[in-house]
Chains A and B, each alone.
Chain A
């Protein structure tokens, strides 16, 4: 017997590749440390999730909604630091270290 698949309408969810998400298969997922909204949601100033409200990855391994972080960095109190660990904020280069993150 052979099964030939002609057409398949599947359903999938997209997730941000935050590098450390495989732990929460079922949970609500990680939230942005600034606005406390899940990464797959959108920051308070956006209406559409996904590409319209992207994430920003830091060298320090912390991930935020881009809009949230930019707003934070724009304040003088931020001193250009990551709000989580107070290290100077450096945006990570994604393409290069993607596989590293995934492997971790």
Chain B
């Protein structure tokens, strides 16, 4: 159905094409030349099989060039490209076969050697098929694209793994020119005239030519990250006694940067160029170094604090890292968690908690001078410490340098300064700085790191400390027998600076009582030589002492009376009242066959004195003679003598003096630990005693009013003198009373139980 027009059109096209191919040559000479050139060019470009040596023939490059020139003039290059790509597609199975072979070898042996060989082999294929440059840029890029598309499409997932291992292995090479065994010999195509500074340099060249670098950039950097991480963890973990950040950065410069040049600065011609190319990626890696180190130190922070001050370098590292990496909140969270898990539980000693708290204060001050981190971390510790019953005692004990515990919480070198009150910010101060941005709403700066002020500020009032201090001081002073209390005086002087003169006035009186006693004793001894050297105290200024009233028998009574009389003669207006149960007596018991020396409390002395009247006593007789002594105390006193082999238990409750020592084997009584009852009531005991008074009030209230809710009881008790308990304390007390069966509670209403 060809119309004329169509025919004409086709004829025109034909003429055009012919003219183009023939290039105005005579007859069909041009066409023939073109046809020859086409054949030559396509044959030249045809992708060869590398395994077939026959396919590899020598080409006369000048002829090829002429042919290409011819084709180019005929504008047939696009067609040639299409043809070439089609040929490639037909030959691709050759590459596929090779790849599969290498990969299966690798999967079998897990040896990256095969991956390296695969890379080189792929490069060989690429090189063999690459069209000559005369064909132009377009054809080259089209070729590369097609080649890479194919290669990537056939590489199995295991290649990624192998590639990663391969990249990782290149870290090990370092600067040594000796190639590791896994690196196959560089194929001739990649050998350059200049010997490569690193044996893996050709490999990186191959990576680049195959486009593996661009495609796997994230993989390569992740390998690098992992390498850095592994190195830091391996080198720095638990090494806190030296700075690690700087050595790590040096390690980066010496070991990682030369490596980085290969993937990231390949094209660099000069050192400066390389440097500028590496800048971005370098700072990324530097950030990673900081982050890894700060993560590591954050994880270790609790133990670092335990090791302080040996671990100070680690904290300085952390400080520097935190400036680069914002991990502050992680640090706080980790430390809070560690504290909760390892510190703030009933198994930990209050002393240890305080020690760790002080270390935390010191450490975090180092890491973060404004104290924001410290404030956040310290809060739970402080709240916990407030609930512990013996916190104050521990703090006070360390304040006065408890001899037995060795290290004190307070650094000896720290200047002694008064307790600091919360400072109001002085906005007129020219060097005023706003609070850090991550400070919480109730953040308070307490300026210098005075540990004692911080510890005392756990509690709202320092009176508690002073009371506890008084008890502690009393215990120590009463235990002193040689009249040397310089240490206590020094302690009090130091504490005066901290707590202020007024607060420690009571302690001052106690110390004066000590000197006064010494003076009085000197006078009394000059009048009449006596073996009794008492400490005479001013009541109202000493904490309540253990109550105890008994009468010393025999010569003891005589000695006491003599002394009291001498005292009265010396101080006309004053009298002495003995606290017979306190103090110690050094005596010697002269028995028929032996003499027993002993240092004993007064009750023991009283009992043994009674034994000089007769040899056999029952416990009740003994108690009746000395007055009001409770039975356990009496038994304890007798046990002391039994242990010394001076008396023995005859019939139950009957004790017999041993004038002649009995064989030790006949009374194998285990030496029992005689626990020294402290002479001074502790603060808790004082409170418990006080509560007994308040119980009377509560009892009266409930008897008169029937049932009462807790807050009513609290309100009414507030009218009682000296009542300072919180409703929580009252609740705990009522709960204790309920357990004792004295009250019952239902629906929040308390009532007396029917007796």
By a beta-carbon cutoff of 8 Å, the part of chain A in contact with chain B is: 1-17, 26, 29, 38, 40-41, 47-51, 54-55, 94-95, 98
B265 contacts A by Cβ under 8 Å: no
B582 contacts A by Cβ under 8 Å: yes
| Residue in A11, A16, A26 whose beta carbon sits within 8 Å of that of B573 in the complex | A16
User: Which of chain A's residues have a CB closer than 8 A to the CB of B567?
Assistant: 14
Q: What are the 9 closest A-B residue pairs judged by CB atoms, nearest first?
A: A11-B582, A10-B534, A7-B586, A10-B583, A2-B590, A8-B532, A4-B588, A9-B481, A11-B579
Which of B269-277, B370-378, B505-513 lies on the face that meets chain A? B505-513
By a beta-carbon cutoff of 8 Å, the part of chain B in contact with chain A is: 478, 481, 505, 508-509, 512, 516, 531-541, 545, 547, 555-556, 559-560, 563-564, 567-568, 571-580, 582-592, 597, 602, 605, 608-609, 611-612, 657, 659, 679
A80 to B: closest C-beta gap in Å: 23
Tell whether, in the assembled complex, residue A11 and residue B478 are in contact, meaning their CB atoms are under 8 Å apart: yes
| 8 A-B contact pairs sorted by A residue (CB < 8 Å) | A3-B555, A7-B585, A10-B580, A11-B582, A12-B576, A16-B575, A17-B568, A41-B540
Tell whether, in the assembled complex, residue B574 and residue A14 are in contact, meaning their CB atoms are under 8 Å apart: yes
Known: A12-B576, A13-B539, A14-B575. A3 touches B612 (CB 8 A): yes
Tell whether, in the assembled complex, residue B579 and residue A13 are in contact, meaning their CB atoms are under 8 Å apart: yes
Complex alpha-carbon distance, A74 and B224, angstroms? 93
Main secondary structure of the interface of B (DSSP, over half): mixed
User: Which of chain A's residues have a CB closer than 8 A to the CB of B547?
Assistant: 26
Tell whether, in the assembled complex, residue A8 and residue B586 are in contact, meaning their CB atoms are under 8 Å apart: yes
Tell whether, in the assembled complex, residue B533 and residue A54 are in contact, meaning their CB atoms are under 8 Å apart: no
Known: A9-B585, A48-B512. A40 touches B579 (CB 8 A): no
User: Which of chain A's residues have a CB closer than 8 A to the CB of B537?
Assistant: 11-14
Complex alpha-carbon distance, A51 and B583, angstroms? 25
Tell whether, in the assembled complex, residue B587 and residue A3 are in contact, meaning their CB atoms are under 8 Å apart: yes
B370 to A: closest C-beta gap in Å: 42
Tell whether, in the assembled complex, residue B540 and residue A1 are in contact, meaning their CB atoms are under 8 Å apart: no
User: Which of chain A's residues have a CB closer than 8 A to the CB of B582?
Assistant: 10-11
Tell whether, in the assembled complex, residue B585 and residue A40 are in contact, meaning their CB atoms are under 8 Å apart: no
Tell whether, in the assembled complex, residue B587 and residue A1 are in contact, meaning their CB atoms are under 8 Å apart: no
User: Which of chain B's residues have a CB closer than 8 A to the CB of A41?
Assistant: 540-541
Tell whether, in the assembled complex, residue B588 and residue A47 are in contact, meaning their CB atoms are under 8 Å apart: no
B322 to A: closest C-beta gap in Å: 52
B478 to A: closest C-beta gap in Å: 6
Chain A CB within 10 Å, residue with most, of B478, B512, B572, B573? B573
| Residue in A6, A10, A15, A17 whose beta carbon sits within 8 Å of that of B535 in the complex | A10
| Residue in B574, B584, B586, B657 whose beta carbon sits within 8 Å of that of A15 in the complex | B574
Tell whether, in the assembled complex, residue A49 and residue B509 are in contact, meaning their CB atoms are under 8 Å apart: yes
| Residue in A4, A17, A40, A54 whose beta carbon sits within 8 Å of that of B590 in the complex | A4
User: Which of chain B's residues have a CB closer than 8 A to the CB of A51?
Assistant: 571
| Residue in A9, A13, A50 whose beta carbon sits within 8 Å of that of B584 in the complex | A9
User: Which of chain A's residues have a CB closer than 8 A to the CB of B612?
Assistant: 1-3
User: Which of chain A's residues have a CB closer than 8 A to the CB of B533?
Assistant: 7-10
| New contact pairs (8) apart from A7-B585, A47-B505, A50-B574, CB-CB < 8 Å | A4-B588, A5-B587, A9-B535, A11-B679, A12-B535, A13-B539, A17-B575, A50-B516
Chain B CB within 10 Å, residue with most, of A8, A13, A48? A8
Tell whether, in the assembled complex, residue A1 and residue B657 are in contact, meaning their CB atoms are under 8 Å apart: yes
Tell whether, in the assembled complex, residue A3 and residue B608 are in contact, meaning their CB atoms are under 8 Å apart: yes
Nearest CB in chain A to that of B541: its residue: A49
A52 to B: closest C-beta gap in Å: 9
Complex alpha-carbon distance, A16 and B400, angstroms? 33
Complex alpha-carbon distance, A29 and B547, angstroms? 16
Nearest CB in chain A to that of B589: its residue: A3
Complex alpha-carbon distance, A87 and B481, angstroms? 49
User: Which of chain A's residues have a CB closer than 8 A to the CB of B657?
Assistant: 1
User: Which of chain B's residues have a CB closer than 8 A to the CB of A49?
Assistant: 509, 538, 540-541
A63 to B: closest C-beta gap in Å: 10
User: Which of chain A's residues have a CB closer than 8 A to the CB of B584?
Assistant: 8-9
Nearest CB in chain B to that of A21: its residue: B575
Known: A1-B657, A47-B508. A10 touches B560 (CB 8 A): yes
Nearest CB in chain A to that of B568: its residue: A17
Complex alpha-carbon distance, A51 and B515, angstroms? 13
User: Which of chain B's residues have a CB closer than 8 A to the CB of A26?
Assistant: 547
Tell whether, in the assembled complex, residue B532 and residue A14 are in contact, meaning their CB atoms are under 8 Å apart: no
A33 to B: closest C-beta gap in Å: 17
B181 to A: closest C-beta gap in Å: 86
Tell whether, in the assembled complex, residue A11 and residue B534 are in contact, meaning their CB atoms are under 8 Å apart: yes
Tell whether, in the assembled complex, residue B531 and residue A8 are in contact, meaning their CB atoms are under 8 Å apart: yes
Tell whether, in the assembled complex, residue B534 and residue A9 are in contact, meaning their CB atoms are under 8 Å apart: yes
Tell whether, in the assembled complex, residue B556 and residue A17 are in contact, meaning their CB atoms are under 8 Å apart: no
User: Which of chain B's residues have a CB closer than 8 A to the CB of A2?
Assistant: 589-590, 612
B482 to A: closest C-beta gap in Å: 9
Chain A CB within 10 Å, residue with most, of B540, B577, B659? B540
Nearest CB in chain B to that of A4: its residue: B588
Chain A CB within 10 Å, residue with most, of B568, B582, B585, B612? B585
Tell whether, in the assembled complex, residue A12 and residue B577 are in contact, meaning their CB atoms are under 8 Å apart: yes
| Residue in B481, B556, B588, B659 whose beta carbon sits within 8 Å of that of A6 in the complex | B588
Tell whether, in the assembled complex, residue A14 and residue B571 are in contact, meaning their CB atoms are under 8 Å apart: yes
Tell whether, in the assembled complex, residue A5 and residue B583 are in contact, meaning their CB atoms are under 8 Å apart: no
Complex alpha-carbon distance, A64 and B510, angstroms? 23
User: Which of chain B's residues have a CB closer than 8 A to the CB of A1?
Assistant: 589-592, 611-612, 657, 659
Tell whether, in the assembled complex, residue B531 and residue A7 are in contact, meaning their CB atoms are under 8 Å apart: yes
Tell whether, in the assembled complex, residue B579 and residue A6 are in contact, meaning their CB atoms are under 8 Å apart: no
Tell whether, in the assembled complex, residue A13 and residue B509 are in contact, meaning their CB atoms are under 8 Å apart: no
Known: A8-B583, A10-B534, A14-B576. A48 touches B602 (CB 8 A): no
Chain B CB within 10 Å, residue with most, of A3, A41, A49? A3
User: Which of chain A's residues have a CB closer than 8 A to the CB of B541?
Assistant: 41, 49
Nearest CB in chain A to that of B535: its residue: A11
Complex alpha-carbon distance, A28 and B190, angstroms? 105
